[in-house]
């Protein structure tokens, strides 16, 4: 069943080592957007075609080393902040380190 599959996937994307002194978890979201409009494209949409498929993969990494060190990162694979028909790009949107 789908719930069991998602539980197994969550377990596979989580690691723990050194008696739980090192923990890391990878998670994410997949957004699928389709735009259909007349030309010229409205607003901030940068496209010369009238139907635009705009997928976005967002990945999160949470890591903790001991009780004091924490690291977070968020990266995205998409076509930029505003929808466009240009190629995909990957970027590191957010990151934080707490010591």
pLDDT of residue 85: 67
Q: What's the pLDDT at 37? A: 76
Provide the pLDDT for residue 39. 72
Q: What is the mean pLDDT of each run of 10 residues along the chain (99 residues)?
A: 90 92 95 82 68 90 95 92 75 95
Positive or negative, the CA dihedral 91, 82, 59, 34 is negative
Nearest Cα neighbor of 13 from 2, 28, 1 is 28
Q: 53 with 22: CB under 8 angstroms?
A: no
In a 13 Å sphere around the CA of 98, the CA atoms on its Cβ side amount to 9
Backbone angles phi, psi at 61, to 5 degrees: -125, 120
Query: pLDDT digit string (tens) for 39-60?
Result: 776 666 766 777 878 899 999 9
pLDDT value, residue 53: 84
């Amino acid at each position: 069943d789908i719930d069991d599959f998602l539980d197994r996937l969550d377990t596979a994307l989580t690691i723990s080592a050194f008696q739980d002194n090192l923990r890391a978890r990878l998670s994410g979201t997949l957004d699928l957007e389709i735009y259909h409009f007349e030309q010229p494209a409205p607003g901030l949409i940068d496209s010369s075609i009238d139907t635009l498929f705009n997928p976005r993969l967002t990945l999160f990494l949470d890591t903790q080393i001991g009780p004091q060190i924490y690291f977070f990162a968020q990266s995205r694979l998409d076509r930029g902040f505003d929808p466009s028909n240009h190629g995909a790009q990957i970027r590191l949107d957010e990151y934080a380190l707490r010591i």
